Every structure is written in C-alpha cells, then in structure tokens.
Amino acid sequence: MICDEEKAILVKVDGDTNIFLSEHKHQNQTNKILLTSDDCLEDYCRLKSRGVIFKKAPSYLSEGLSIEFSDPYGNDFIILEQRNYNEE
Amino acid sequence: MRYVKELSNRNKIVSESTCEALYEQQNDAYTIKFVFSGTENCEINKRKFSIYPDTFAVVNAGTNFCSKIDSISPVNTLSVSFGENFVKDFHHTFSNSNEGLLNGKEVKGTPAFIESLYPFSGDMRFNVLHLKSQLDKGLKDEMLINEYMYHCLLNYYKIYDKEVLQKLDKLSFIKTKTREEVLKRLTLAKEYISSNYNQNITLENIAEQACLSVNHLLRTFKEAYEISPYQFLMQLRLNRAKKLLQTTSYTLNEIVGLVGFECPSSFIRLFKHTFNITPLKYKKSRLN
C-alpha cells in the first residue's frame, strides 16, 4: 500500500521489466529485489565491468545460478538464472 | 564450419560442425571435449571410445589424441582447452578454498584427471551451452569467455568429485592403490559400454576390456555405481532412445534398432516402466 505523500520511483529496466522503489515505511516491506536472467554469467561479467561490486562469486543453488549485490541505499539485488535440472 | 578462438592467457576453444574430419595430434593442454549432435570417435593410448551428446571427454596435457568424425548429418563439437597457468591457478584456489571439494586431500601442482567419459548434464551443460551460443553469436569479450571457462572447470571438479572420488570411497578394498586401480578399470568398462551401447555386447566383452574377471567386474561395478553393468547399459539405451525420440524424426522401429534393442516390444515395455509413458506418447508430448 502506497500513501499519497509517499515518495517512490519506478525504474523501467526494459520493455518487460519495471522496478518499483519506495521509501522504507512499512514493517514487512522487503528490500530484496529478485531479477531473473537467461544467462547469469553474462550479466555478472557485464555488471562487474561497469563497477558493480558483488558480495560473492556466482553461486549454484537448487533453483539455478545466482549472483547478489547491493546498491548504495541498502537494496539487495539477486539475479537468478533458473535452471531445470530434471529435464534433459 | 570451424572456428578457433585463442585467448591471451592461452585458453583455446575450437568449435566445429562437420560430417567428416580426422585429427591426430599431441594434446598440448588440458582439454574437455563436447559433442552436441552426432558422435565423435576418439582414440587415446590405443583406447577407442565415442563421445555422444550425453557425455564429455577429458584429455590431459601431453596425451596423444586421435579423433574421427564420419557421419551423414553434421556433427557439432566443441573443444575447450585450458592454458597451463589457468589450470594451475584454478587448481590451487580450488584446493585451498574452504568450500573446495578436494579439501583435505593432497594438493599437487598440476592436476591429472582420469581421462575418460563423464556425464554431460546439470550446470556443466547449462554453462557450456551458454558459451557455445555466445561464441556462435560472435562473442569477443575475453573476460566473459574466461568466466565461462572458469565455471566449466568448476563444474568439472564437482563432477570429478562425484564420479571418481566418491566412487573410490565406495569400493571396499583397504589399500588406496587397489581402489584406484579397480576404479580405473571400472571406468574402462563404463567407457566401453557407453561407446558400444548399440552393439550386441556381452559381460565377457566388457570384462575383457576392463581387464577384470566377470565376477570381479560384477561385484565391483555394483559396489561403485550401485547398478549392474547390464542395468547401466539399459539406462543408456533408454536415455539415448528418449533423446532420439525428442530430437529426430526417426520412426520407433528405427530408434529401437539404433540404440541396440532387438525387439520393439521389450523396448516399449522397458521405456514405459522407466519413464511412466510410452515412447510414442512421449514423442507426441515433446512435439507440442
């Protein structure tokens, strides 16, 4: 729920994706932003070469490959490349 | 079509799509070889084996390597070679890291792997397919190529841990040397089955290739892999048949013959029993 006086920005990443950022006012408001990717390593290299500092190297989860970083305002970003390990 | 990509750190990638090829050379770097469609027949140290799309081969530096492609439809291959320093650095970091799977085991300057076939699946498959599609699109960024190659090694170390180190622990011999020798021979058995899966092969053939007696082969194979050589062969045939159903327009009878089954009815029964769907229903479901 966003009140009238609340400040928020809408970031248009590309044609399909919008990121909505608002002030941290609500208790259970998350500051984690999950983005999906077709190729996590490509995104990792691209962002790294533009100066993004990652918390750790790309890591393998049961859902797929992921990378994590934070912006200067304390928002945590997770980029996940979902991989289906059951289907060949 | 063939292209070669050599990076400044001496990492090298060769991608090829061809119906006919013959290479004979001393392999000068650690190399991992993949096949995306068709079969590549190889020979190392007088040992013959075939790489199918569900397996990849690892060849150490300094091995004499011979490969042959002879096919009606084009065979897509990718060969990834790692520069000596790249491998050394990786091996060192990996072995010393807390998460390292080789942790606690002896760290050698340069690794030497069991040269054989390994299953091409999971993260290794995802990463290598990304690398290939990027290269096909003309990727030039060395940093990204190296990142893919780094992950390729990382994935390979995990597979090596699962397929070699964990299997060694399952063998009940007391001496490490004996376990290593037996696993080496079992690897030969698996390699032989994988390369001749569509032939009429017998336990005696497999045992002979592995330099083990039939009884010894049966007992130790089951100990390491938890299935019998026969079950392993059937799994391979079924999985490769499944792939053919999915990717080709061969008829069911043709596929039955291609993967080495003698009669369609036993194939259909086994297929249904294993995947809970009949081959034809599976083919239909994949077409949609």
What pLDDT, on the 0 to 100 scale, is given for residue A75? 84
Residues of chain A with pLDDT under 50: 1
Residues 6+ apart with CB under 8 A from A61: A80
Is A36 a domain residue?
yes
Q: Is residue A34 classed as helix, strand or coil in its secondary structure?
A: strand
Report if residue A1 sits inside a domain: no
Number of H helices, E strands in chain B: 11, 8
Whether A14 is in a domain gets the answer yes
Count Cβ–Cβ pairs < 8 Å, chain A vs chain B: 32
Of A45, A85, A88, which has the smallest distance from its Cβ to B144's Cβ? Answer: A45
Does A88 map to a domain? no
d(CA B188, CA B47): 9
Q: Length of chain A in residues, anyone? A: 88
Residue with tokens 């040269």: B115
Structural domain that includes position A77: 8-82
Handedness of CA B177, B102, B63, B61 (dihedral sign): negative
Test B130 with A88 for CB contact under 8 angstroms. Answer: no
Count of the separate structural domains present in chain A: 1
Tell me the CATH number at A26: 3.10.180.10
- Residues of A contacting chain B (CB within 8 angstroms): 39, 41-42, 44-46, 49, 58, 60, 64-65, 81, 83, 85, 88
Domains in chain B (CATH in brackets) are 2-169 (2.60.120.810), 171-226 (1.10.10), 232-287 (1.10.10.60)
Chain B residues within 8 A of A65 when measuring between CB atoms: 123, 126
Cα(B186)–Cα(B163) distance, integer angstroms: 11
- pLDDT number for residue B105: 55
Question: Per the CB < 8 Å rule, is A58 touching B151?
Answer: yes
Find the CB nearest B126 among A42, A45, A83: A83
Strand A64-70 with A59-60, pairing:
antiparallel
Across the interface, whether the CB atoms of A45 and B141 are under 8 A apart is answered yes
Is A67 within the bounds of a domain? yes
Check if the beta carbon of residue A76 is closer than 8 Å to that of residue A55.
no
Closest CA to B216 of B241, B255, B248, B189: B189
Check if B144 contacts A (Cβ < 8 Å): yes
Cα A33 from Cα A44, distance rounded (Å): 16
Q: Give the residue from chain A lying closest to B133, CA to CA.
A: A39
**A37 within a domain of the structure (yes/no):** yes
A70 inside domain: yes
Dihedral angle computed from the Cα positions of residues B58, B60, B63 and B65, in that order, rounded to the nearest 10 degrees: 20
* CA atoms of B156 and B169, how far apart (whole Å): 19
Contact A39, B130 (CB under 8 A): yes
pLDDT attached to residue A1: 47
Q: How many CB atoms lie within 10 A of CB B34?
A: 24
Among the partner residues B122, B147, B243, nearest to A44 by beta-carbon distance: B147
Sign of CA dihedral B23, B18, B87, B100: negative
A57 is a domain residue: yes
Residue A6's pLDDT is 67
ipTM, 2 dp: 0.83
One-letter amino acid of B284:
K
Tell me, what's the pLDDT at A32?
83
> Measured between alpha carbons, how far is B155 from B152 in angstroms, rounded to an integer?
5
Q: Which pLDDT tens digits describe chain B residue by residue (288 residues)?
A: 888 999 999 999 999 999 998 988 888 889 999 999 999 999 998 889 999 999 999 998 888 889 999 998 899 999 999 998 999 889 888 877 645 455 555 555 667 788 999 999 999 999 999 999 999 999 989 999 999 999 999 999 999 999 999 999 999 999 999 999 999 999 999 999 999 999 999 999 999 999 999 999 999 999 999 999 999 999 999 999 999 998 888 999 999 999 999 889 999 999 999 999 999 999 988 876
Distance from CA of B122 to the nearest CA of A (A): 6
- How deeply is B203 buried, as exposed, middle or buried, from its count of CB atoms within 10 A (0-12, 13-18, 19+)? middle
* Selection from B85, B104, B91 nearest residue B153 by Cα: B91
Please indicate if any CB of chain A lies within 8 Å of the CB of B174.
no
